[in-house]
Structure 1
């Protein structure tokens, strides 16, 4: 069975709070953003904030972020599938300075409790979701909505009028010819990250599509990679950071490797698309 990275463009158990690939015996080589600006270095003061957030700074670069309407904006890609603007990183840095400690930082990166999140599956033009991806998105939303005791919920529609929605899910394969996975970002100001991309998943099962979308929505509502400390699901042994603030362990979940979490850094071609019991515990603890 092969495992794939939610790449740079390809991407809850121990589920660590913050703002989602696949591995087994074989691991797909790390994908690279075809529009990445590899000559422009991310400034050290931004890297310092990312390190304090306990993000893996081996996977940080500028790249063109593509919106559903075809427009682009330069953003910073972290850990291959997490997308941030410079201002977002600076805002998080300010929050860390003003309110150090796990509780404040965790709260800053969560969606407001009790919020009903409006989410739309994009159906227009070259970035429309396929029929399979639309089904997978419905299954992913069901994963969240069926959980009892979780205060956030989702209302799903399909169409092109995404501007007023809290979150839009769209297929950006046209701008990512290599690799398969998705990308998303962190919540801010009590709102989820708006733009959830998937790409090159048509060759995979509906369950794998469901897995990737559920994973990226997980980032958007405040969860980071379960194996942040090792990236073991990718066949690596890389600690993504050991700062004092960014990776907040969720009570009741393991502190070691959880091989079936939906928030692993890499996904398997045999992924079921479902939360495991630790993912559910994490969601219940956070929301």
Structure 2
């Protein structure tokens, strides 16, 4: 009797193990995470940036020295390695609602530059006929973080382009490198990077050997007085030009 019980218990245990293993084997395997970095790289290439101009870091790609593409960014629908849609400024604009209140969080490393930050904000906020409006927040939710970052010699700042209808979420300022620049030039650096956050490419893209950029309809594509000219750290225009303002009003009216 005891042997029979032992046999039945052993048989039941073997059956349980078999069923458990079978269920485990039949269970669907976890779906691997999509490699968003590859999508971002394809997006950059489809925008016209050649591979040799793309610098890869751990969490991002950098192009034109001062434009950041985070590897976890939301890629606009329709951009992949097989589909190249109609080319435009960056591939994405800030949504109509979001652009009216772009919340800027000033990192503690940048509070010393609050006067320059406010000067840059004032320039964008006072463009006639344009809905772009920036505001500084000190706590809670924000859209863009501005922080100090050592970018080495030669690069004053970096900014991200919009994605998913929201402004590019980061501005890096090489504070120590631009410290010797005039107040107007330091504010200019911030204003320039804020322009990238709302979709502007470099106005002088052709002169400095960057990929083709489509000008804003009705606004000339070149402008020596544009604050969005690249490669002019410490020497460029310090205020939004007439064409800069016209382009901002055309995109965000």
Same fold (TM over 0.5): yes
In structure 2, list runs of 5 or more residues that go unmatched.
1-36
The one of the two structures with greater contact order (alpha-carbon pairs below 8 A, sep at least 6) is: 1
Equivalence map 1:68-147=2 (5 Å): 74-88=59-73, 91-92=75-76, 94-95=78-79, 100-102=85-87, 109-114=92-97, 115-123=100-108, 128-129=109-110, 131=112, 133-147=113-127
More strand by share: 1
Q: Which residue of 1 aligns with 2:198?
A: 221
> Cα 1:208–1:130, aligned 2, differ >3 Å: closer, same or farther?
farther
Is residue 170–residue 198 contact of structure 1 (8 Å, CA) maintained in 2? yes
Correspondent of 2:228 among 258, 263, 272: 263
Secondary structure of 1:204's aligned partner: coil
Q: Which residue of 2 aligns with 1:206?
A: 183
CA RMSD of aligned residues (A): 2.7
> Cα 1:47–1:93, aligned 2, differ >3 Å: closer, same or farther?
farther
Q: Normalising by the residue count of structure 1, what TM-score does the alignment of the two structures yield? A: 0.65
> Cα 1:229–1:155, aligned 2, differ >3 Å: closer, same or farther?
same
CA distance in 1, matches of 2:107, 2:38: 36
More helix by share: 2
CA distance in 2, matches of 1:87, 1:47: 11
In structure 1, list runs of 5 or more residues that go unmatched.
1-42, 65-73, 232-237
CA distance in 1, matches of 2:42, 2:51: 9
CA distance in 1, matches of 2:144, 2:166: 9
CA distance in 2, matches of 1:54, 1:99: 10
Q: Normalising by the residue count of structure 2, what TM-score does the alignment of the two structures yield? A: 0.73
Is residue 46–residue 79 contact of structure 2 (8 Å, CA) maintained in 1? no
Is residue 261–residue 278 contact of structure 1 (8 Å, CA) maintained in 2? yes
Q: Which residue of 2 aligns with 1:62?
A: 56
